[in-house]
Amino acid sequence: MPKVFLRTFGCQMNERDSEQVAQMFVERGFTVTPQPDDADVVLMNTCSVRDQAEQKALGNMRHLGKHRRNNPNMVFGMMGCMAQSRGDQLLEEVPHLDLVAGTQKYHRVVDHCVSLMKAKEEAQMDNLRLPIVDIDEEEASQNTIRDHIAKEHGVTEFVSIMQGCNMKCTFCIVPFTRGPERARPISEIVDECKRLADKGVREVTLLGQIVNLYGRHEFPKVDGKSPFVQLLEAVHEIEDIKRIRFTSPHPIGYKEDVIDAFTYLPKLVDHVHFPMQSGSDRILKLMHRPYKAQRFIEICEKMKEARPGIAISTDIIVGFPGETEEDYLETKKAVEYLQFDQAYVFRYSQRKDTPAAEMEGQLPERVKEERNQDLLALVDSIVERKNHEHVGRTVEVLCEGPSRYNKDRLTGRTRTNRIVIFDGDADRMSGQLFDVRIDECSGFTLYGDPVLDPSVGAPSVLHSAESIRV
Beta bridge partners of 16: none
Q: What are phi and psi of 450, to 5 degrees?
A: -60, 140
User: Do residues 210 and 253 make contact, with C-beta atoms less than 8 angstroms apart?
Assistant: yes
On the question of pLDDT at 321 being above 80, the answer is yes
pLDDT value of residue 456: 41
**Nearest residue to 412 via CA among 398, 402, 426:** 398
Residue spans in the chain of domains classed CATH 2.40.50.140: 394-462
* Residue of 174, 173, 81 lying closest to 357 (CA atoms): 173
- How confident is the model over 290-299, as pLDDT tens digits? 999 999 999 9
Show the beta-strand stretches assigned E in 107-260. 132-134, 156-160, 162-163, 182-183, 203-207, 243-247
pLDDT at residue number 126:
55
Give mean pLDDT, residues 18-34.
97
For the chain, give the percent of residues with pLDDT over 90: 86
Whether 470 and 413 have beta carbons less than 8 Å apart is answered as no
What pLDDT does residue 125 have? 56
pLDDT tens track for 86-121: 999 999 999 999 999 999 999 999 999 999 999 988
CATH of domain 141-384: 3.80.30.20
Which of 15-19, 397-401, 450-454 shows the lowest mean pLDDT across its residues? 450-454
User: 22-26, 48-52, 147-151 — which is least confidently predicted?
Assistant: 48-52
* Cα separation, 93 vs 103, whole angstroms: 20
- 352-380 per-residue burial string, b: 16 or more CB within 10 A, e: under 16: eebbbbeeeebbeeeebebbbeebeeebe
Residues of the chain with CATH 3.40.50.12160: 3-134
- Domain at 3-134: CATH architecture: 3-Layer(aba) Sandwich (3.40)
pTM: 0.93
For the chain, what is the largest distance between any 2 Cα atoms, rounded to a whole number of angstroms? 69
**Which residue, 346, 349, 337, 350, is CA-closest to 376?**
346
Q: Answer yes or no: CATH 1.10.340.70 is held by domain 394-462.
A: no
**Can you tell me the distance from the alpha carbon of 266 to that of 316, in angstroms, rounded to the nearest whole number?**
29
Q: How far is CA 334 from CA 168, 251, 328, in A?
A: 24, 15, 10
Phi-psi region of 2 (alpha: psi -120 to 50; beta: other; left: phi over 0): beta
What are the residue ranges of CATH 3.80.30.20 in the chain? 141-384
CA–CA gap between residue 389 and residue 208 (Å, rounded): 32
- 442 in helix, strand or coil? strand
